[in-house]
């Protein structure tokens, strides 16, 4: 990620925190930077802690966990569970009001993301038919990714 983009996103998170009465302290910023640098990786709390610690050896586990909880409460982060019992964290995308979609491969465990909101028509229908205003949603697909499918195909192909 370009440094300028990263700075802008840190600024934005800083403003989000300030509007709720919190400060982006040095320790909190260290956690935010790790999340931004590994945005597509859906890291667990332990993985985030290890990465923060490699940059800031003095930081404690409790501090990082508290930061993750706070950022989740402020909806900067979203807690995800892909069915393996591990809580993972995802930064919410700037351009989308709603959470992006995930393609979870049951074979290799990879998680690809659909960054566009593909549910807007469905949301309109929910509102029409149920009078329900959709504020957010989660859509995770379980299946077999294109990489694994390709591998199977080439293994099954006649010699």
Residue closer to Zn ion (CB basis): 61 or 108? 108
Q: Does 36 bind Zn ion (CB under 5 A)?
A: no
Contacts of 137 (CB under 8 A, 6+ apart): 98, 99, 119, 123
The answer to whether 105 contacts Zn ion (rule: CB under 5 A) is: yes
Crossing angle of the two packed helices 45-55 and 26-37, in degrees rounded to 10 = 110
Tokens 């990879």 belong to residue: 110
3-class SS at 12? helix
For residue 80, what are its two tokens? 């995800």
The residue among 58 and 155 lying less far from Zn ion, judged by its C-beta, is 155
Kindly state whether residue 145 participates in binding Zn ion, applying the rule CB under 5 A: yes
Q: Which of 113, 139, 140, 151 binds Zn ion (CB under 5 A)?
A: 113
**Overall size of the chain counted in residues:** 159
Side-chain-side CA neighbours of residue 116 (13 Å): 4
**Shortest distance (Å) from residue 129 CB to Zn ion:** 16
Among the listed residues 119, 126, 140, 151, the single contact to Zn ion using CB under 5 A? 119
Nearest to Zn ion of 27, 38 (CB atom): 38
Work out whether 122 is an interface residue with Zn ion (CB under 5 A).
no
Find the binder of Zn ion among 107, 125, 138, 150 (CB under 5 A): 107
In the chain, % helix, strand, coil (3-state, to 5) comes to 45, 15, 40
- Which residues make up the interface to Zn ion (CB under 5 A)? 90, 98, 105, 107-108, 110, 113, 117, 119, 145, 148
């Amino acid at each position: 990620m370009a440094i300028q983009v990263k700075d802008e996103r840190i600024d934005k998170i800083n403003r989000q925190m300030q509007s709720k009465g919190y400060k982006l302290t040095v320790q909190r910023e260290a956690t935010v930077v790790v999340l931004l640098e590994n945005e597509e990786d859906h890291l667990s709390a332990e993985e985030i802690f290890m990465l923060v610690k490699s940059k800031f050896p003095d930081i404690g586990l409790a501090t990082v966990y508290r930061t993750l909880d706070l950022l989740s409460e402020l909806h900067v982060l979203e807690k995800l569970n892909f069915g393996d019992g591990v809580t993972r964290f995802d930064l919410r995308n700037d351009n989308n009001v709603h959470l992006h979609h995930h393609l979870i491969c049951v074979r290799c465990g990879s998680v690809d993301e659909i960054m566009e909101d593909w549910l807007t028509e469905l949301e309109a229908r929910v509102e029409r038919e149920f009078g329900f205003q959709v504020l957010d949603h989660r859509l995770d697909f379980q299946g077999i990714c294109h990489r694994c499918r390709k591998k199977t195909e080439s293994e099954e192909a006649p010699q």
